[in-house]
Structures are given as C-alpha cells and as structure tokens.
Structure 1
Amino acid sequence: MDASYEAARGLTDLEGFLYWEAHRRSAHRRATEFAARVTGLSEAQKAEIEWWYVEEQIQVCRKLTEHITDHFTAVEEHHAKRYAQLRRGAYFATLVINMVVLGLSSGVILGTVR
C-alpha cells in the first residue's frame, strides 16, 4: 500500500476516534448535569444514571452512523448501476454512429470509383 493512503487512512481513523470521544464526553457532561439537578439520589444512583445515559447515547449514535452508512452505500450502488447503464448506452451510440459513418464513407468512396 501507498504511504499517502496509509497516512490518509490513519487520519480518518483518528478523526473518527476524536468524534466518538467528543460525543461520549458531551453525553457524560449532560448526564452529570442532569444527575446533579435531581435531588435525593445517592452517589451510586447518580453514577448509574450517568453510565446508562452515556451508553444509551453511544448506542443511538452508533445506530445513526450505521443508518447513514447503509444509506450512502445504497446510493453509491444505485449511482454505479446507473453509470454502467449510461456507459453501455454511450458505447452503443458510438458504435451505431461509427457504423453509419463507415457506411456513408463506403458509399461515397464506392460511388466515386464507378
């Protein structure tokens, strides 16, 4: 593999990690703020609420990311099929045009030879 490809892949992986980590920290901060406002909770209960909320947010984010990935994959497949159809049509049109031009050229050449 090319070193530039590896570097780009590494940067993409790092960006993904930083995105997930920022999302996790944000969810943890929101959960901590929520648990602090609820009166009468023990520290263990607050920790449980924080853990549950962060895990729930991670699952929601993961499902959303999977949905977006599936959608992009479907769109990409659709465009690939459509491009293949257009390419085949262009090849066929080029073939027909070349045959017509060849036929006309042959007719002109044979017509001038007689």
Structure 2
Amino acid sequence: MNTSDEAERGLTDIEGFLYWEAHRRTAHRRAADFAGRVAGLSDTQRAEIEGWYVEEQLRVSRSMTQHLTDHLTAVEEHHAKRYAQLRRGAYAATTLITVLILGLCVVVLIGTAG
C-alpha cells in the first residue's frame, strides 16, 4: 500500500469516526430532550432512558449501515458480472468482424490477382 492509499484510508476512517460521533451526539441530545419532557423521572431513571435510547439508535444505525453495505456489495458484484459478459461479447464481436474483414480482403485480393 503506498502513501496515497494510506492517506485515503486514513481520511475514510476519520470520516467514519466523525459520522458516528455526530450520530451519537445527536442521539444523546434527542434522548435528553425526550427524558426532559417526562415528568417525575429521577436523575438515575433519566440517565437510564438516555443510555438505552443512544444504544438503540446506534444499534439500528449499525444494522442499517450493514444492510446498505451488503446491498451495495451485491449490486457491485452483479454489475461486475454483467460488465464481464458485455466485455466478452464485445471481444467476440470484434474478433468476428476482424476475421470477416480479413476474409473479405483475401477474397478481393485473390479476385483481382486472378
């Protein structure tokens, strides 16, 4: 792996970390807002609700991210297979056209020489 690839990977890792950290902070804020509207909760109960909500939001996000990753991988594999089929077809057509043109040239050369 060269330096450019390492730098790109590092930036991707940082981007992923910042995304998850922002998501976690948003979940904390939403949980705190929700728990703040519920009357009669003790500080311990409020903290438990916030902790549960944040964990649940992160679990759902991970699940969705994994689902999207799996789907994108499947689509990428499908397109790679289709591209390979199209490429083989194009090579076969090019080869056939080349053979036909060469055959035609040979026929024309024999016809004009004879």
TM-score, shorter chain, exceeding 0.5 = yes
Distance 1:36 1:88 in 2: 63
Moved over 2 A (4+): none
**What is residue 2 of structure 2 aligned with on the other side?**
2
Match of 1:37 in 2: 37
Instruction: Give the Cα–Cα distance (whole angstroms) in 2 for the partners of residues 54 and 26 of structure 1.
Output: 9
RMSD: 0.7
Tell me how far apart the structure 2 counterparts of residues 50 and 109 of structure 1 sit (CA, whole Å). 86
How far residue 15 of structure 1 moved from its aligned partner, in angstroms, is 0.3
After superposition, residues 18-97 of structure 1 pair within 5 angstroms as: 18-97=18-97
Distance across 2 between alignment mates of 1:59 and 1:106: 70
Aligned residues: 114
- What code does the residue aligned with 2:69 have? T
* Identity among equivalent pairs (%): 68
1:9, distance to aligned residue in structure 2 (A): 0.5
Following TM superposition, by how much is the alpha carbon of 1:109 offset from its aligned partner in structure 2, in angstroms?
1.0
**SS in structure 2 at match of 1:39:** coil
Q: Any gaps of 5 or more consecutive residues in structure 2?
A: none
**What is the alpha-carbon distance in structure 2 between the residues aligned to residue 67 and residue 101 of structure 1?**
51
Structure 1 CA distance for aligned equivalents of residues 112 and 79 of structure 2: 49
Cα distance in 2 between the residues matched to 1:90 and 1:58: 47
**Alpha-carbon deviation of 1:104?**
0.4
- The amino acid across from 1:32 in the alignment is A
Deviation at 1:97, TM superposition (A): 0.2
| Per-residue CA distance 1:69-99 (angstroms, 9 max, x = gap) | 1111111011101100110010010011011
- Comparing 16-25 with 33-42, which one deviates more in the overlay? 33-42
1:6, CA displacement in angstroms? 0.5
